[in-house]
Chain A
Amino acid sequence: MKKLIFVVTLAIGFAFINACGGGEPKEKPKGFDADAFNEEADAGAKEKEKAAHESKGIGKFTNVEIAATLDAKMAQAGSGVYDLKCASCHKLTDEKLVGPGWKDVTTRRKAEWIMNFSTNTDEMITKDPAAQAMLEECLVRMPNQSLSDDDARAVYEFMRKNDGVK
């Protein structure tokens, strides 16, 4: 009886993970192998993170040209937008407040993904796997803060400054 409950729990666990991760496992597990399970989960997470890292998200920004050096003036404008519309939920360190801290976000995500997420928030939360994963973690939908395209670009430049780009 106990075993049955365990198996059911396991099945639900798998179903949940599948639902979150998307993509069917190649073959159904025959018995429970904790090591293999964890390994597979880790591999899944890594794969997802890699996909998120390469994703441009969903929205109007498909190709944003980023110079090697910082545009200080633009970063300054971005800092103003940050204070008004972002700082309530995002710290500049790696500490999570309502949303994740911004430290190193420009190395975790492409410029296009960040700018699409900040301007096309609802569609991204509904459709983009990386945005959905963040929602599962934070449990608060990121609000659309009505950033203009220029605002979004300026905030990205400010993020670059925060990540040490000179």
Chain B
Amino acid sequence: MKSNLIKAAVVLCAAVFIQSCKPQGPAKAISGDAAAKAYVAPGKYDEFYNFVSGGFSGQMSVYGLPSGRLFRVIPVFSVDPEKGWGYSEETKPMLNTSHGFVPWDDLHHIALSETDGIHDGRWAFANGNNTPRIARVDLKTFRTAEIIEIPNSGGNHSSPFITENSEYVIAGTRFSIPMDNTNGDVAINTYKENFRGTVSFIGVDKTTGNMNLSFQVLLPGVNFDLARAGKGKSHGWFFVSCYNSERANTLLEVNASQKDKDFIMAVNWKKAEEYIKAGKGEKRTVAYAHNVYSDKTHSATSTMEKEVMVLDPKDCPDMVYFMPCPKSPHGCDTDPSGEYIVGSGKLAAIIPVFSFTKIQKAIADKNYDGDYQGIPVLKYDAVLHGEVKKPGLGPLHTEFDADGNAYTSFFVSSEVVKWKLSDLTVLDRAATFYSVGHLCVPGGPTKKPWGKYLIAYNKITKDRYLPTGPELAQSAQLFDISGDKMKLILDFPTIGEPHYAEAIPADLLSKNSTKIFRLEENTHPYACKGEKDAKVERKGNEVHVYMSSIRSHFVPDNIEGVKLGDVVYFHVTNLEQDWDVPHGFAVKGANNAELLIMPGETQTLAWRPDRTGVFPMYCTDFCSALHQEMQGYIRVSPSGSAVPITFSTGTNKPAAETPAQ
């Protein structure tokens, strides 16, 4: 009896407890089977790779979906001491610009390469916002292979967006500025006379992926925000959102919000190509860095380029048009068919959807509403497919599924709204936590959305995670969109601030992933191909150490004869040819980072010893049972010392232990 009573009390208490803990408010959005849908069992693989911009971290992160597990942070525009990126002699040139070495940037958007409008799994492009650059990440090695600087640009936000066969990625300037070949020392309030914008077309080599700044289009001094290429029927066109048609140079919050409508710009890039061929481009003197990494020399080269071809629409009719778009448009997204262009005015109460067919007709009929700075403005009503009425507050970005539905993020009202492209009716809305920015549907920007999931990238997390002081985690929220209604199934934190992201089926990439770099193909000038090649050479005050590493020793591991004032270059070659066996290298007191050397690769650490003595060096990446034994010493003598250069592994023993020769 008594025990029954206790049991009953326990049950009751538990019930009360569950009641009182029952999530209130936001968490109501979770349905019962959410955990199972996002669960990927230990040892099992995710369905998708998710390439997520790292925002002000300057890097690109790689997550698995649906688990939200972080696999890798790819260093792109910011130095990364963990991987030696920007610290090793080989990687430093990757961060070179016309301003010299720039160790940081702000990475906003990802564009995965496409063939026939479908993900081909070869490259991921990303933009550096602050010091305008575009990077190409190789999806075999998951490393940054190329970075090109963009001249005539400031705040490289409207990029990188890619055409359906990766013919071009474009880079539009957010800030209009005085052009690089003019005297830029002008009063800021001469904006309207002196400031111009550009959109750059960067050609992508079909085979190698190498980028080349093909041409720029010179444009009125507005702010270019986001863009999408046309696809299918609209292939050959680009659509770019613009704000600040007021051309304000101060307090843009107010002064760039005066007009009811700004613009979405339509660029006929096939026409632009014809004009370039016809010699309509003007060669302008500029300076920009073009940095390329080689997986054969395991080194980057940085070349300073000096010219760019510029097309001015006043010499090139029928190339550029403006379409009015309410109000301060941000997102500008083309649907999988290429027929619809969705503009998201940050301050607009509706979402306008433009029709490519109608745009073509309006152009043919010259159905203009005057011009803006000499560029024809198409009549709003003539190009409009329709408006989504009262969708939410503060629309930002739109992604698509394969079933004719669009998903738009609303920053102010913190929600994602699903609506139908054909009749513009709202089908569903889901709360996000909080202040959602970009969205990602796997394949969402392509002709063939893979669908299944939608990820919302949120700016604010407030009460979603355990607090970590004033700075809180940024976050992603995963929704299952396989049914009629969106279902929230997972929250996961992200690095930096996530802006745009793309997701691609895992099997398109995983089968191509590089495992090792072949030693036979290593053409690094300081490679140590076998311990026989290990040596130490003095060239003036430079000491070059040709060092090998293999589980679990360095050759050489005892080095003497270095003098104060020398610069020591440790060129470390990892002789392993097995997957997942990097070696690290660090030396005490280096004003530098570590090296992390992949199998078959050579990387170089420069060290300027600041005192005499004996300095330890060791492998930093746990490599074997005898990893703690993988170490050595380097001796530094006073400048002018007579200690000769010597080096060895395994033989430098006390005289008493050395047998007489």
Contacts and interface: CB of A to CB of B under 8 A. Distances in A.
Contact of B625 (A87, A88, A139): A139
B551 A146 contact: no
Interface stretch (B246-254, B311-319, B408-416, B529-537): B529-537
Given A84-B529, A87-B531, A146 B516 contact: yes
B520 interface: yes
Given A140-B626, A145-B576, A84 B553 contact: no
B598 to A, nearest CB: 13
Contacts of A84: 519-520, 529-530, 575
Nearest to B581: A143
Nearest to A139: B625
B541 interface: no
B553 A88 contact: yes
Interface in A121-149: 121, 139-141, 143-147
Residue among A98, A139, A141, A145 with the most chain B CB within 10 A?
A145
A115 to B, nearest CB: 16
B625 to A, nearest CB: 5
Contacts of B440: none
Interface string B413-443: 0000000000000000000000000000000
B518 interface: yes
A83 interface: yes
Contacts of B519: 84-85
Nearest to A80: B530
A103 to B, nearest CB: 18
B578 A144 contact: yes
Nearest to A85: B577
Contacts of A145: 576-578
Contacts of B494: none
Nearest to A97: B650
Contacts of B577: 85, 143-147
B482 interface: no
Interface string B538-571: 0000000000101111010000000000000000
A88 B581 contact: no
A146 B555 contact: no
Contacts of A85: 519, 530, 575, 577
Contact of B551 (A83, A87, A98, A147): A98
Contacts of A98: 550-553
B652 interface: no
B612 interface: no
B624 interface: yes
Given A83-B530, A88-B531, A140-B551, 4 more contacts: A98-B550, A143-B581, A144-B579, A145-B576
7 contacts: A85-B575, A87-B532, A139-B625, A140-B624, A143-B576, A143-B577, A145-B578
**Cβ-closest 4 pairs across A and B:** A146-B577, A83-B530, A88-B550, A145-B577
